[in-house]
Amino acid sequence: MTPLDAHPLTGRFQSDGAAVSLKAYERAGGYQALRKALGMTPDAVRDEVVRANLRGRGGAGFPAGIKWKSMAPPDDGSRYVVANADEMEPGAFKDRVLMEGDPHQLIEGMIIAAHAVQADTGFIFLRYEYQVAARRLAAALAEAERAGYVGANVLRSGWSFHLHLHTSAGRYICGESGALLNALEGRRAVPRATLPRATTAGLWGRPTVVNNVETLCNVPHIITRGAEWFVSAGVGPPSKRGGVDGGTKVYTVSGRVNRPGWFELPMGTPLRAIIEEHAGGMRTGYGLRAVQPGGASTGFVAPGELDVPMDFDSPERIHSRMGTGTVMVYDDQTCPIGVLHNLQHFFAQESCGWCTPCRDGLPWVEELLLAIEQGRGRPEDLALLHLHTRFLGMGHTFCALAPGAMAPLETGLVLFRDDFERHLREGCPYTAEG
């Protein structure tokens, strides 16, 4: 039993918090998966990842292998692999932890992904504020290039793969894959039409696959240990697609719990175990009011529903999502209307302005919530907020930003009904945030 058996993604992390160096990474088996993958055909690598049912860790849960298989067939032109490292969902920091702790793991995952889809160029699209990760990734990239893992003639295979780090300049929407591609091309980062898919016409019109950091970090382990191992690592119930969601998941917990932080656990670990066992439960003097299990754009879960397995499908049964596995815990001394206002302020500010419902609807929602929070709310405002949860829902907007914003509002209007009504009657009863 090595640390990598239970914690493949974080088992190499150094106790001093520094990044795993190339030497240490190689000593712990690093880049062996790449050697193995280069001995396999691209089709065989893709098949292995399809059989592992590796689902996208950016929140949507789309199977990575299926995405890779949808890449248009190679011709003479460029093909791209992009790591989406634009982690900006409030509450989320798992990708930062993975990139700061073990940058070579992401790089190896990207090279294997590039081999699988026969790409010649890759970009790591990193959010601006992750400057520690930027320094560590740049250093690791230089190490990997010197060692012959990246660049011309990868490990003398005859295949070349050039990998670049692109640091963005601070907008949440850049994490939306179409907006990310526009940003990389130097255009305003507004989403693209869903069709044609990026795997047909992505960066500069060429086939492009975009995967989340954590998704790519899983790839070397699937190649080394096999799809069956990956599937068997999940502990949740069978998913809608058949089979279970496999592998481990880096869950993060924040809020007034005893041990806020990150925890790599089997995929499908119950929300209650994550909060109570691993994060140590609520701090003395604080009660649990609600949880957002997967980041700011996931619905609130009530304290009675914590037994839900944290895999891709189970939380949908209680009107929420696992999202990025970013658990945010809300205590009973924080005003839930204030929480909702803060969340909607974020979404309104980060709307790219491309489509009307999002651009005009989110600031309206923010203003309604502020009025209620400040004791200026009118009874009819609740109906207006309900209306927005429909008008800004899926199918009414160009991308998932506004529908994501509506998930906490829709569930919050139900779960915090008493608080809304009390605010309308007498203003905010909570003394202060913070």
- List residues binding other proteins (CB under 8 A): 78, 87-93, 96, 128-132, 164, 166-172, 183-189, 204, 252-256, 260-262, 296, 328, 330, 334, 338-339, 342-343, 345-346, 349-350, 352, 432-434
Smallest distance from other proteins to CB 90, Å: 4
The CB-based long-range contact list for 196-205 (8 Å cut-off, 24+ gap) reads: 197/70, 199/67, 199/70, 199/71, 199/72, 200/70, 200/72, 201/72, 202/80, 202/82, 203/80, 203/82, 203/123, 204/78
Smallest distance from other proteins to CB 343, Å: 6
Taking the least distance from each CB to other proteins, the nearer of 39 and 434 is 434
54 with 95: CB under 8 angstroms? no
347 with 295: CB under 8 angstroms? no
Smallest distance from other proteins to CB 432, Å: 8
How far is the C-alpha of 56 from the C-alpha of 149, rounded, in Å?
25
Distances 7 to 93, 133, 218, 433 between C-alpha atoms, Å: 17, 21, 11, 36
Taking the least distance from each CB to other proteins, the nearer of 196 and 205 is 205
Taking the least distance from each CB to other proteins, the nearer of 255 and 377 is 255
How do strand 208-212 and strand 80-85 relate by DSSP bridges?
Answer: parallel
Taking the least distance from each CB to other proteins, the nearer of 32 and 254 is 254
Taking the least distance from each CB to other proteins, the nearer of 218 and 344 is 344
Taking the least distance from each CB to other proteins, the nearer of 341 and 388 is 341
Smallest distance from other proteins to CB 397, Å: 18
Instruction: Specify the DSSP element, H or E, that contains 16.
Output: none
What number of other Cβ atoms are within 10 A of residue 152's Cβ?
A: 11
Taking the least distance from each CB to other proteins, the nearer of 186 and 285 is 186
79 with 118: CB under 8 angstroms? yes
Taking the least distance from each CB to other proteins, the nearer of 288 and 343 is 343
C-alpha torsion angle, residues 90, 326, 243, 318 (rounded to 10): -80
Taking the least distance from each CB to other proteins, the nearer of 304 and 434 is 434
Nearest to 223 by CA among 83, 116, 296: 116
How far is the C-alpha of 352 from the C-alpha of 104, rounded, in Å?
33
Taking the least distance from each CB to other proteins, the nearer of 269 and 297 is 297
Smallest distance from other proteins to CB 153, Å: 19
The secondary structure of residue 263, as a DSSP letter, is E
Smallest distance from other proteins to CB 1, Å: 28
Smallest distance from other proteins to CB 170, Å: 4
Token pair recorded at residue 224: 């080394």
What's CA 89's distance to the chain center, in Å? Answer: 8
The CB-based long-range contact list for 148-154 (8 Å cut-off, 24+ gap) reads: 149/31, 149/34, 149/107, 149/108, 149/111, 150/107, 150/111, 154/34, 154/38, 154/111
Smallest distance from other proteins to CB 202, Å: 13
Smallest distance from other proteins to CB 21, Å: 22
Smallest distance from other proteins to CB 46, Å: 26
How far is the C-alpha of 306 from the C-alpha of 384, rounded, in Å?
30
What number of other Cβ atoms are within 10 A of residue 75's Cβ?
A: 9
